[in-house]
Structures are given as structure tokens and as C-alpha cells.
A and B are shown apart, each in its own frame.
Chain A
Amino acid sequence: MKLPLSWLKDYVEVKESPQKLADSLLLTGTKVDSIETIDEDSVFEFEVTPNRADCLSAIGIAREIAAIYKRQLIIPAAFSETPKPQSQGKEVVFQVADRKLCPAYSIGVIDSVKVGPSPDWLAHRLEKSGIRSINNIVDITNYVMLETGQPMHAFDFTKITGRMNLRAAGAGEKIITLDGIERSMPQGAVVIEDAEKLIDLAGLMGGESSEIDQNTTTVVLHVPIYDPLAIRRTSQVLGLRTEASNRFEKQLDPSGHRYGFERAAFLLSTIAQGSLASEIKSVGYGRLEREIKLPASSIGETLGIQLSEGQIKEILASLEFATSLQGRQLKVIVPSFRTDVRKPIDIIEEIGRIYGYNKFPRTLPAGEIPSKDLPSEDFEREIRGFFGLLGLQEIYSSSLTSGEIIESAGYASEDCLRVANRLVVDYEFLRPTLMVGLLAAAKTNQENFNQFSLFELGKVFEKKEAADKLPSQPNKIAALFFNSNFAKSRGALEAVFRKLNIAGAKFTLSEESTLFTQPAANIYLGDVFLGKIGKIKPETSAKFDINLPAFGFELDCETLRSHSAPTYYQPIPKFPTVKENISLFLPEEVAFADVAGAVEKAAGKNYYSLQLLEDTQIERRRSILIGVEYYDPSHTLNKEKTGFIRGKILKELRAIGAQPRIAPEP
């Protein structure tokens, strides 16, 4: 909402510079987005929070200024008594079919108006406030709306046939609004009709059929309060927001419509020579104030500062709240325009913000510290750290992505969670795998880097329901190795397992999956599936424009965490280990896992470690070189025992079909 400073000065004295005023308003909760200078006047653009309907007006802002600086607020007088119709009686019959839609209003007829351009002061004030000047009649209704916060509408009396009736629209009913657009209304929009036609899309925009024009001499002035929800829904469905709807959808002062009518009628008579031609009919001219009681001690207990009774009364009085202390209870009378103040805590907020939060002492909480273990997020910090140590770069990609990207990664978008109200196609589906972000990042970087590895930790989303009735959304950690190979990616993973103290991870050959082609493996911790590792399918790489081989893996964080054992020191062998390198020919059907199993089985309690040192092809046969270490925890192995263990290992290796390339022991 925009308002010129000169206008605010009608109601309250302002001695401060515009910037100083803006700061003071900000600190009490009314943000000034910008100050613009037009014709030596400062035009403030205010950002008013949705609870403060009263501040969507010049008087409301002026009242805040008066409270901040402890100054007098002067508002234009309304009719001191209800005036009698000045000219011959013209009656309007206004019916409300559903009281809920329009619980309160004032209405009356004003005739002898002379339609013409507004006087300069009026046109300028409106234009500085961002509202186009149209003619004096329409301008006055807009002016009073900006002044008081109460929107209103003027109809041309002669264009209305018979009685006026306010009701809910049926779906698809049509009306041409003042902007010349034919609008098809949703069920439940508030409309006003006469005996023949729709004349108003109530709360949003008037109808063209009853528009004020140059020939208008008699107007029906209608100052209503509508059901905020009905206005808000219609506004959202039609995608139409107006100055009026922005106010009607909030809690307006229930008794403000009468003042609004009287103020507009006064301006119509002084500016457009109009005169009241009917009674002013006011319905639901309501309660003026409300009473809230609160324990006086709750103010200090909540704010943490101790204010005297006098300070509290003074602050509340500056906001036009009347206060009295009854024993330990504070009784506060809240004026009707403060529709946001309903509970004791609302009173405490008013005291806090006007007193000024920056004057509060700043203390630290003194209570007991909840003593609980650090939760799983710390585990996430730990694995992030490990991946960083391994030379991988962490990325953050969007978890909301496009159907096209998901399809490119080989997933069917119809299997993925999707927002029902997308704004742009780039943000429509929830990622089923972290790999979509990693692949996109690989594409971004391949121009500038020949080789890199990336990782991300975050949630992926599945349609299936989890235990808490929400869709399953587990945390995963995934890595992508660009221009790399299987062994390198698996090596990184093994390093992570070592860091997390996870023993016994099993890699089993995997069939081709959504993301990976051969070489690919399923990873198990015990019997629990942890994730997959493998080569990104060439067709996926092609769709992401990735032009060098990429490998990756994706693991379930919770599975990883639950298998991570606390580190416990394993004694370093006191006696020397025996190190032995063995060359083996391996037939196709024998895997390294079989070799490892055979060595462990053969060495038994003497087993210390096993490494794969070389893996090559010799004359089309697979030849590997393994480094075996064995020991005895209680003494140095003698020659005999060493020979015995070696023999057992070779025997087991031969048993699985491996062919040791050394001469058998004599």
C-alpha cells in the first residue's frame, strides 16, 4: 500500500524526516518497503502484515505514528447525527439472501451529483497512492477506502431495476466487470443482482452494467463487510486481486462501514454537490469494543522485562485501548478496529512492540539443558566429512525437478510423486534418486574439468507410504565418478565403510537396473540391501549429454548408520606377520570373493589381511596377484607352522578352481 506523507500529516503531526519515520514504523511492525519522492512529497510504500487490516489505511498508519511518538490523532468527524434526507426521497431496496456472506453494511442514495474530474488535491493523492483517477464519484469511494480501510462501491441508481439482492453465485454465472472483461464466476462468489441482471462482483470489482458515467446524477453508495473467506476464494480462483478484495478478505472493523458511508457522503456533497436522498440504512452496526482480561504478571513472564502499571497503561492508551487493574487481573477494552487483538497474548505483543524490543535486555536461557544423545544428523555430518576427505565434492541439487529429467534417468515419471499445482515444468516432480542431480552436475562440469567426483546427501521420494502415513522419503547418499572406472568408485565406497567401521559388506553381481549397466553390483550389509553401484547406462549418459564413462552408487543413509559400529581399538599384532604374495590363474566362474573366502577359511584364526595387488589377463586367462598376511597373536610363527598355513591356503585355493602359479611345496 502506498500513501504520501502529506496525507498522513492530516491526521497526526510528523516532525521526523521520512527515513526516521520509516525506521520508527519498522521497529513497531509496519515495514516501509520504499520511499519515493514525488512533487516534493514522500510517498511511502508500506508492507502491512495480514493481521493488521486496520493498517491498510491512512488513518491506521497515522494511529501507529501517534502511538509511537505519543501524539494526538485527529480523524475527520463523521456526521454528528444522522442527517435527514435533503432532497426528495429515493429508496433502494437491498436484500441479503445469505447473511453470512454480508453480515454488515450501510447503504443509501445520494442524488444531484455532478460527475466530473476530481479536484487536483484528490486526484494527486490517489495517483501518489497508485490509484488512477477516474471521476470524482469513483475517486471519492477509493479515497475513503484508502483513508479508512473500508472499501465501498457506488452504483448508478438509474441503471438498477427494482430491488438489489446479494447472493452466492452459481458456478459459471457470468458478469462483465468494470474493466470490460467477462468473467465466469466460481460457485460461492458473492454477487449483487437487480431484478434483471448481475450488477456487481461483490468485494472484487463492480459490474459494467451499473457503472458510474458522465450522465450519472444519482448514486447508490454501498459500504459492506463480506465474508472474508468467500472473497478470498473467489479472488484466488479468478486470479483477480484488487485494492478492495485485499481488504475485504481480512477482518475489517465490524462497525467501520457506517463511518465509511458518512465520510464518503460528506465528500460527495462537498466535492460533487451530492445530497443524501434516502435514509442511511445500516445493518450489523456492531459492537464497538471487546474486553480481554489477563494476569498482570504474564506480561513480565513472557517479555522478560518488568514494566510499571503506569507504563503499561500509557502504551495501551496510545493505541486507544482502555486499561484498568482489577486485583492481579488487567482488564483491557479493545477498540473495534483492532480485529487482530483477541487473546491475552495479543495484548502482550502490543506492549512489547510499542515499548520497543531494542530496549529489551538480552539474556541467555537459564533452564535445564535437555540431555539427549546427538541424533542421526550428526551421522550425516560424519559421512559428509568422509566423502570430502576422499576427494569428492559435495553438491546440492533441487529435489523438485522436471518429468523430462526423471525420464532421462530411466525412471517413469508416473511412478514419481508430483505436485498438483506446478508453476514451471522444471519444478514438478520429486526426485526418485539423487543421481538425477549428480548427472546434471556432471553435464555442467565436463566442459571445464576432465575428471571429477561428486556426492550429495538428501531425500528421495517414493509413492509408497511410510510408517507415519506420509510418502516414503528416506535420506540417501550418492556419488558420481566422471571419467572413472568401477574399481575407483568401489574403492571410495570401501574407504567409507572402513571409516564407518562397517565390516562384511557384500558385493554381488547385479543385473542391469534402472540406472546402471555392467559392471554393476548390489551391496548388502549382512542380509540388508544397502544400495547399488555400477556404470551409468550409456543411453542415460547420452540423454544427459555426458560424454565420458561415469560410475556411481546410491546408498540408504539409515541402513548405513544402523550398521556403523563404534570404533574400538584392535591391538596391533605383537609378533611379526608373514607376508606372502601368490599369483593365481582364475577360471571365468571363480570370483575374487571366492578367493577371499578360501583364504579366510584356510588361514582361520591366523588370518590377518588380504589384498588384491594385480588383476590382469595373461593369454586370455585372468591372472591375479594377491597379498596374504597371516600371523599368530601369541608367538612368532615358525617355519613349520608357516609352511602348514601356506599349504592349507593353496589347498583351499585349488579347491575352488584357482590355479596357483607357484611350484608346490616339496
Chain B
Amino acid sequence: MEKITEEALKEISEVKNQIDLERARLRYLGRKSGVLAKITSEIPKLPPSQRLGIGTKVRKARTQMETAFESATKAAKKVSAEVIDVTAPGIKIEAGSLHPLTKVVEEIKEIFHYLGFTWVDGPEVDTDLYNFQKLNMPPAHPARDVQQTYYLDKELLLRTHTSSMQVRYMETHKPPIRVLFPGRCYRRDMPDSTHLPSFYQVEGLLVDAQATMTDLLGSLEFFAKQFFGESTKIRVYGHHFPYTEPSIEVEVYYPRSGWLEILGAGMVHPAVLRNGHINPNRYRGWAFGMGPDRLAMLKYGIGDIRILYNNDLRFLNQF
């Protein structure tokens, strides 16, 4: 008995951490499989002469061990508390993150994915044909004025909108069509807090045997509520784009700033469907175009579009 007690006390004095201490405690003092418990359970099997005094010895050993464990546990706790200042910062782990524009574009894609839309990429250097002419804007059309254009030569230009993908896509796909065209566009504008020569757009296109203005409005409202929140209100007004008719613009109500325009849309002009080899007597379509830059600015409260493209980590790290 003395030998067991000695071993136990030695072990307790050597163990430093709480987990090992607890393991040792279970081994000696555990209620079922502890050494002392086992000895106690063996007592009735001993001849009566040897039973005498054993109980006392076990109790004495238990008391000694318990005292030792108690003080060792206290000491171990004290040690760990002294080492770690929980108020000090942890070791910094550099987490990467995605640009807010990516987040916004992904969110737009996800929302329209619910409505059955997929998406494709397209060329940024495109032809006058697909960017303008096939969208009902012949050369020198006044509507080209609002889309100041960078030209590479007589035919090639930097697309001014992702609508340039409409006819390209229709030429190679039969209705039903539900597709998004996210990507970069260019306008020959002086850079300022709301304009950059290079920016993002997401175009959406639906073509089907049945396609109505009410569906367009419903889909855009669905988007606005998903993106800005369930209580978001939109309003719609007539506008003019040569490639959609009727054409509309959509505003969302922003408590801080009032009504803000977020996108242009409309029913695909019959001439544009025809240019995409789709019979406008059998099919109708609707399309919309929105600016993720502007949406990101609204969503995150960014006042200057240039911040999005300056790539200052003090900005990017916030997302």
C-alpha cells in the first residue's frame, strides 16, 4: 500500500499538465477501474486475518493522493493562466478575400439562377456590328451619343455595353433563352467619382414563346428584393433604348438618398430578334442591363467608383 502511494505521489509531482493529471487521477482514484477501487473490491476475497487494517490503509492512501492531486491541479491551472493573456491578440492569419465587384456579380448570378438563368462570357473587343448595328443603331444614330465609344479601327471597338452579346448569343442558341452576360465595358468618359472609362455590366436576356412586360417587371422586382432586402420598393418609368421597345428604367428606393436608378430594361425590339435569326412573330423577349459597380457602391456605401479599382488593401481588406 505504501509502495502504491509513493508511486502515485511521484507521478503526480512529475505530471505538468491538467489532462495528464486527470488521467493519473482516474488511474488511481477512478470509481470503477481505479487502483484503490480495485483493491477495495478485492478485500472480501482475502482471508479474514489479512483483511484487518487494509481498509484504514486504503483510506489513508486515498486521502494522501486526493490532497496531492488537489494541490497539483491548482498549480497546473495557475501555470496555464499565467502564460496566456486572453486579452492579447491572437497570431494573425492572413485570410484572402474576393473583390466586392466579384461578390456583387456572383450575387446577381445567384439571384437570377433561381429564375433559371445561366451565364456566358463574351469578347470585350467587339465589332460595331454587334455593339451597335445589330441592336438597331445604324452608323451616326443619335443614340450612340450617350455611349461615347472607343474605336480601335473602323470596325473594331471596345464594347460600350454587354448588350453586344444579345445577337451573338441568339445567333447560336434557340429559344427558350435565359442567360446573363456579365463583363467589362468601356466608354470614352473622363474619369470622375461616378464614371470610369472601364466598368462592369451584367446583361440579362430572356426569349420565349411567351414573354411579357409584367414578367420583366416581376423578375426585376424579385432581383431588387433579393439584393437589397425584402422591403425594397422599385418604381419603373418609360425610357428609350434603340434595342428594346418598350424601354424602361428601374429605380429602387433608398431611405438615405431617395429613388436611385439601378438598371435599364425593356422588351427586345423585334428587329433585334430578327437580327438574331429569331422570328419575332413567334417569340418575344426581354432584356435588362445593370451596373455591378453602382450596385456595389449602393450596397457597401462607397461614394467614389475609383475606389473600386484603386486596389488599396485598406479598402479591399474590409470585404
Contact = CB atoms under 8 A, between A and B. Distances in A.
A346 B125 CA distance: 32
Nearest to B269: A345
Interface string B301-319: 0000000111111101100
A2 B94 CA distance: 55
A363 B218 contact: yes
Interface stretch (B16-24, B33-41, B56-64, B208-216): B208-216
Interface stretch (B65-73, B78-86, B178-186): B178-186
Contacts, number: 249
A33 B209 CA distance: 38
A387 B96 contact: yes
A421 interface: yes
B46 interface: no
Q: How large is the interface on B (under 10, 10 to 19, 20 to 34, 35 or more residues)?
A: 35 or more
Interface in B159-206: 176-179, 182, 184, 186, 188-191, 196-198, 206
Contact of A348 (B115, B236, B240, B246): B246
A16 B219 CA distance: 33
Nearest to B146: A50
B167 to A, nearest CB: 14
Contacts of B313: 393, 445, 448-449, 452
B96 A419 contact: no
A352 interface: yes
A422 B158 CA distance: 12
B240 A51 contact: yes
B123 interface: yes
Given A352-B246, A365-B215, A400 B197 contact: yes
Contact of A398 (B115, B125, B198, B237): B198
B267 interface: yes
B178 A369 contact: yes
A623 to B, nearest CB: 31
B184 A458 contact: yes
Interface string A124-161: 00000000000000000000000000000000000000
Contact of A394 (B97, B189, B235, B284): B97
Nearest to A492: B96
Given A417-B152, A421-B150, A444 B118 contact: no
Given A357-B238, A441-B311, A377 B182 contact: yes
Interface string A221-239: 0000000110011000000
A304 B213 contact: yes
Contacts of A381: 106
B140 interface: yes
Contacts of B198: 398-400, 427
A349 interface: yes
A348 B284 CA distance: 13
Interface of A: 26-29, 49-52, 228-229, 232-233, 249-250, 301-305, 343, 345-346, 348-349, 352-353, 357-358, 360-370, 372, 374-377, 380-381, 384-385, 387-400, 417-424, 426-427, 430, 437, 440-441, 444-445, 448-449, 452-454, 458-459, 461, 468, 470-471, 473, 475
Given A364-B215, A453-B96, 8 more contacts: A26-B237, A302-B267, A345-B270, A364-B115, A380-B121, A395-B99, A397-B311, A470-B125
Interface of B: 93-99, 101-102, 106, 109, 115-116, 118-121, 123-127, 140, 142-143, 145-146, 150-153, 156, 158, 176-179, 182, 184, 186, 188-191, 196-198, 206, 208-215, 217-219, 221-222, 235-240, 242, 245-248, 267, 269-270, 284, 308-314, 316-317
